[in-house]
Amino acid sequence: MLVSPEFRKQLEGYGLTTAEILYYRPDAPSLLQTYIWQDLDIFPDFPTLRRFLDFWTRKLDGPLHSVQVAHNRLIKPAEFVMRDGTYTIN
């Protein structure tokens, strides 16, 4: 059975990263526009997002205003909580 590259990344610690990028429109520099970027990346360094933003600043015309980042690991260690008592379910 083959495992997808995305699943392998998740096992290596990558998590779903979403960035809201605000940038100035090249044709109307006084206006801001939003771009949503999403990919698997590693917290807290975000190398994949940094490569994308480096590409943006080198190749695209719209200068960046700000970037907000949200991150969540999709595969986490199991969490167990010990409870006192015995419960009977009929």
28 domain residue, yes or no:
yes
3-18 residue pLDDT tens:
899 988 988 889 999 9
18-71 residue pLDDT tens:
999 999 999 999 999 999 999 999 999 999 999 999 999 999 999 999 999 999
Strand partners, 1: none
Name the pLDDT band for 78 (thresholds 50, 70, 90).
Answer: low
**pLDDT at residue 3, rounded to an integer:** 83
**pLDDT at residue 11, rounded to an integer:** 86
Domain hosting 15: range is 5-72
pTM: 0.78
80 domain residue, yes or no:
no
79 domain residue, yes or no:
no
Please say whether the beta carbons of 74 and 10 come within 8 A.
yes
